[in-house]
Every structure is written in C-alpha cells, then in structure tokens.
Structure 1
Amino acid sequence: MNEDMETIDEFLARHGADVEDAIRKAAAAEILPRFRRLADHEVDQKSGPHDLVTDADRNAELFLTQALGDLLPGSVVVGEEAVHADPATYAAIRGDAPVWIVDPVDGTRQFVSGEDGFCTLVALARGGELLASWTYAPALDQLATAVRGRGAHLDGVRLLAGAPEAGQDLRVATSHPDYTTDEQKRALLGLRVPGVAPRPCGSAGLEYLAVARGASDAVAFSWEAAWDHAAGLLLVTEAGGAHLTRDGDPFRITGGNVLPFTAARDEATARRVAALLTDGA
C-alpha cells in the first residue's frame, strides 16, 4: 500500500495542475454558459421538487469522467449523476482502485435560482482514504485544494481554520429541513442551545470551505453521499479541523456512519457539536 500511495503522490505532483485545468474547463464549457440562462427543458427533478438536476450537472460530470479517467489510467469515477442512474457504481468507493468522487454542481438549487453559491467538487481517494480534493466555485472564480499531509489552500494561499472566537456563538451550518427525516431533525435540535447559532446550509462544499477558512465554526449534516462530503472533509482536516459522527468516530466516506455528523474548525469544537447532536437524538 505504501508503494501505491507514493505512486499517487507522484501523480499529484505531476498532474495536480492538470486536474485543476480539467475542472475549470468543465465549468467553462458546461456550467457557466447555463448560469442564469437555464431553459425549462434543462432542469429536471430526480426524487422530488427539492432534488434537482440540470443539463449542466449531467454534461459537466461526463466531461470530468472522461478527463479525470484519462489523467489517471486504472482509476474509476463515482459521480452523483452516474450513481443516480446506476446505484451499484457507488461500491467503487470501497474498492482497491483510485477513485475520483465527483459532484459536478454542488448547490444545484442555488444554481437554478441564479445564485452564485454553487461549486464543483472533486476528490481522489483509495480504499476509503481521502488523498486530494478540489473545490471550485466558478461564479466566484475561487479554487480550494487539499492534499493529504500537505495542507489546504484557497487560490494558492494556505488555509488555517483556527479556533472559534472566544465568547461568540458557534456558527453551525446544518442540513436543510427539506432534506431531513424526523429523527434527524430531533438530533439537530440538540444544537438549539445557548452559545450555538445553527442555520440551514447552502452548498455543502462551500460550507466546508467556510469552516476551513475560519468564516464558520462547524457543519452538522445528516446524509452520507460521498460526493457532497469527500472534498470538504479533506479541506477542513488539512486546514487543522476535525470531523466526528454522533458516536465519536471520524466520518467514513465508505458509509455506515452514525448520523448526523459534524466537521469543525478544531477538534474541541467537533467534540462539542457531536455531543450536542447526541443529546438531541
């Protein structure tokens, strides 16, 4: 495995810029031309009115699937839209091959509404271990990257999440009520205590970025889909943060987590939020 990891490190050293270029090109070709210009026929519902997909999602994922697979022969791509079409493809996250985990448009609801709070998420993992991630907000032209053991950066500047400001309420972005079960809502109610200021989240990827840059203190999410979390979890961790599920274990992208879970700008905050989620269950 160590030899394999060294090979991946060498790949990132040689081709990290190529991955960034592929993500930017996917956004330029398939996402930005449709931003605030979506026709009705380019927007569909998947499981319901709060679960939207657009031609930008589908086409950007196809673009990235081809480009990323070409960059790293032998790798596989697990993308949100491909898994929706064939759920069995999700199992590749638990396999031995390097896996690209892709959310072509994270924050589709914001994208459809013409808001700029959406992003493209890409993570590279192997055997359930996160190795590198890219979070690109094309409407804002911001790119955050993280490499295991080498830190997190936003537009080339090192990210350090730091600690919450003393005496201030913890700012926690939580799963949006539209996407939570009654049990999850009860768990999230544990955050409604003095000293904590919960609010519904927007794009998960941008919420993780806010934690990594110290603009927010934590997230508390109630779903497992790896394409929403993989990039952001590595970003937060490499910025000095931590993530914990309700039972005190780190979140696993391979699944089987006790939900909800939290990612926070430092370990003490992660433990505090995870304890509140347990108390609210």
Structure 2
Amino acid sequence: MLDRVESIVREVAATVVVPKFRALEAGEIEEKAPGELVTVADRESERVLALRLTDLLPGSLVVGEESVSADPAVLDLLQGPEPIWVIDPIDGTANFAAGREPFALMVALVQAGQPRLAVIFEPIAGLMSMAESGSGAFINGERVTMATVPVPTSELRGSVLSRFLPPELRARVQEGAASLGELLPGHHCAAREYPDVVRDVQQFAMFWRVLPWDHVPGTLVVREAGGVVRRFSGDDYNMTESGQGLLIARDEEVYDQVRQALLA
C-alpha cells in the first residue's frame, strides 16, 4: 500500500499543488485565523487526497487540516477504531503562498491510535520521505537510519520553533541555547524538519504546537529511522493525547542533552 500512497501524493502534487506555486491569483489566499493562511491549493489538495485515499482503503476516514479548520469535531475521529488518513495538504502554507520553499504534502495512515505508514513529499526539492511501521524509513527510495557517532552538547544543532512558545519558556530556551552548538530558526515547515533530523542535517527540532497533521507523518519516519519523538516531560508522543510541546531527537542521548540544556 505504501507505494500506492506515494503515487497518489506525487500525482496530487503534480496536478494540484505545483501548478499553483508562484501562480496564485488575487483572492486565492485567505487568512483562516490570525496569522494562519490557507490557499485554494490547500483546499483542493486535501479534497483530492481524501477522495483518492479513501477509495484506496474502503471504510477509512479522513482527518485533514482544512476539514478540522471547518469543523473541529472532525479531530475526534482519531479516538475511534476506524482507519484514519491524517492529511496535511500543504505543510508550509505561508512559504507556499509567498512563493518560496520549503513546502510539502504529508499523509499518514493511523489505525488504533498508531501510525502505520507515512509519506512526506517536497515536490520542488523532489524529496520523498516514507515509512511503514516495522519496515523502516526511506528517503528517495533508500533506507535510512540515524547517525550513531556521539555529538558533544556544545556541537549539537537544531531548530526551535519559538513563535508559539510561552514567554517564560522562550526565555529559558534562549538562555540555554548558549550551551548548544547552533539554534536554528526553523523552516516554518515540519515536513522539512523531520527529514533533516533523519539526514543529520540537524540533530533535534523543538515545537510547541502539536497538531496531528504536522507531526504524525514525521513521527513515524523518525522513529522508524531510530530516533525519538517525545513530549517535554519525557513521555512518548501519542497523537490521541492533548498537550503542547514536542522534542524530536536523533537518539536518546541527544534528547537528554537538549532537554537538559533548554528545558531543565
């Protein structure tokens, strides 16, 4: 099934999303909430992905970013027994709307509260990240695993998405940043952050907002590559549990190093 999902995502990217990149007309970009953009391409991408994926798996349901925006009760489907397609039709919409990269399409299949497969596709960069539970993670067709050479705390680099951090936590993170190698501002696109951790471009990424379409696909890719995705508390991330704060790291040691530096 993973190959068929990959084909669907590639097709929707090519026929719906890419033709609108740097070609959006007046009125095709809206603010659905303060600081939150949506475009005609987001809505059409989600519509087509939902149709194609539910046809692929009869009886499955959809939790998509735009469907939840229209009706927050849709999010409750994640608590049910049915297989669920979690869809981010364009992750990095602000980038997409501004005519810049990165942006990506993200899809995950969830059953019994657990991600079973995931596809993350950056159509302009041509970066395809995929994973299937128990079968590993793949980037552009090659199986990937996390780097294993230890990195001193003073050399760790990673992104902190600080926009939504509470002020007191933001101050703590800024204070602790001095003990790390480099704190990156992030790409405003979780679909790039997760593969960058897998590829050792950076060793960690920190988020405050934890929306399932932003994190369920990347979580499976990182975990299948050998990494960890946990709450600030140290608990494993579970999409069915509410709460804020998420720290992605290439391994247990890096998680502990970053948590101690930025959150202790």
Give the TM-score of the pair, scaled to structure 1.
Answer: 0.88
Moved more, 191-200 or 130-139: 191-200
Deviation (angstroms), 1:164: 6.0
Q: 2-side partners of 1:190 and 1:75: how far apart?
A: 46
Give the Cα–Cα distance (whole angstroms) in 2 for the partners of residues 140 and 46 of structure 1: 27
- In 2, Cα distance between equivalents of 1:75 and 1:151: 24
* 3-state SS of 1:41 partner: coil
The CA deviation at 1:175 is 1.3
Which of residues 12, 15, 27 is equivalent to 1:41?
27
- Please identify runs of 4+ aligned residues in structure 1 that moved more than 6 A: none
Q: State, as a whole percentage, how many aligned pairs show the same letter.
A: 33
The CA deviation at 1:163 is 3.5
Instruction: Assess if the C-alpha contact under 8 Å between 2:2 and 2:117 holds in 1.
Output: no
Among 183, 201, 215, which residue is 1:198 paired with? 183
Match of 1:171 among 153, 157, 160: 157
Q: 1:76 to 1:277 in 2, by over 3 A?
A: farther
| Paired residues of 2:137 and 2:224 also in contact (CA < 8 A) | yes
Report the Cα offset of residue 277 of structure 1: 4.1
Greater mean deviation of Cα atoms: 75-84 or 121-130 = 121-130
Q: In the alignment, which residue of structure 1 is the partner of 2:11?
A: 25
1:24 Cα offset (Å):
1.0
> Residue 192 of structure 1 aligns to a residue in which SS?
helix
Task: Give the match for residue 136 of structure 1.
Answer: 121
Please say if residues 245 and 274 of structure 1, whose CA atoms lie closer than 8 Å, have aligned partners that are also in contact: no
Report the Cα distance in structure 2 between the residues aligned to 1:191 and 1:198, rounded to whole angstroms: 10
Q: Match for residue 236 of structure 1? A: 222
Residues 190, 266 of structure 1: CA spacing in aligned structure 2 closer, same or farther, 3 A cutoff?
Answer: farther
Q: Supply the AA of the counterpart residue of 2:233.
A: D
Alpha-carbon separation, structure 1, partners of 2:92 and 2:18: 14
Please tell me the residue identity of whatever aligns with 1:264: A
Query: What aligned pairs does 1:1-281 form with structure 2 within 5 A after superposition?
Result: 15-48=1-34, 50-163=35-148, 166-167=151-152, 169-177=155-163, 179-186=164-171, 188-189=173-174, 191-202=176-187, 203-257=189-243, 259-279=244-264
Q: How many residues of Structure 1 are paired with residues of Structure 2 in the alignment?
A: 262
Q: Are the equivalent residues in 1 in contact too, given 2:177–2:262 (CA < 8 A)?
A: no
8 A Cα contact 2:92 2:104, kept in partner: yes
Q: Report the alpha carbon displacement of residue 176 of structure 1 after superposing the two structures with TM.
A: 4.1
2:184 is paired with a residue whose SS is strand
The 2-side partners of 1:76 and 1:34 are apart by 27
Which runs of no fewer than 5 residues in structure 1 stay unpaired?
Answer: 1-14
Q: Give the TM-score, by structure 2 length.
A: 0.93
In structure 2, stretches of 5+ residues that fail to align are none
Q: Mark the CA change 1:115 to 1:173 in structure 2 (over 3 Å): closer, same or farther.
A: same
Q: Does the 8 Å CA contact 1:123/1:134 hold for their aligned counterparts? A: yes
Distance (Å, rounded) in 1 between the aligned partners of 2:143 and 2:122: 17
